[in-house]
Amino acid sequence: MRTVPDAQNAVLAAAKDMLRKGLVEGTAGNISARMDDGNVCITPSSVDYEAMTLDDLMIIDPGGEVLEGHRSPSSEKLLHLACYKAFDDVGSVIHSHPVYATMFAIAHQAIPPCIDEFSIYVGGEVRVTDYAESGSGGVGENAVAALEGRGAALLANHGMVAVGPNPAKALHITALVERSAQIVWGAMALGQIHELPAEVNKKFKSIYEFLRENPM
């Protein structure tokens, strides 16, 4: 079971960085990290990231019960908990609403692997989940299916979820997917897009799998 040292500070730093990078607005999205004791540190509901402090973060157990904190945990806590339950090698989960990736999510179109670093850090095309209502258990169930062998998935009509060994790595994947979505969208406007050759994508996927098992 992968955990994150000093999880609270790691979550808070990533939350503020996510806002600075323009991957969310206001209080949208959420970040969590698995702690050494197996419990989860998660951002609260309806607190602006710019004003958020360590005291605002919530600690919940794997069943979603609040253990520490004076606010309500994110309304998407079931998404986070489903990812931790399904993937022992995941130490952090980030749900975001980046503009270009969300465009693909609304169109129910996967983001294809057209750029080397995309496949290396994400594992291949970013799949789109089946639709489930925000905050429901179905969001997590559908995300787990789409995340198999991947570092990110698009949540249909909603946004994106990324997983990694810690919040900083999960945020890197989030930003990379958004940048790739913007590039692919622009390339589609220019004409036909060309994905990486199958043998190259297979090679890069093996690198992704190695990095996922042996995070640096």
Exposed/middle/buried for 75, CB within 10 Å: 0-12, 13-18, 19+?
A: middle
78: nearest Cα among 32, 38, 136 = 136
CB-count burial class (<10 Å; 0-12, 13-18, 19+) for 39: middle
* Residues 111 and 184 sit within 8 Å (Cβ to Cβ): yes
Q: What sign results for the dihedral spanned by CA atoms 20, 121, 168, 74?
A: positive
Q: Which one is catalytic: 25, 50, 68, 76? A: 76
Residues in the chain: 216
**Longest C-alpha distance within the chain, in Å?**
53
Q: Which residue's entry shows tokens 């270009």?
A: 100
Q: Which amino acid is at 134?
A: S
Whether 169 contacts 118, CB under 8 Å: no
Annotated catalytic residue 76: yes
Q: Name beta bridge partners: 60.
A: 40, 66
Give the span between the Cα atoms of 37 and 183, in whole angstroms. Answer: 40
Residues identified as active-site: 76
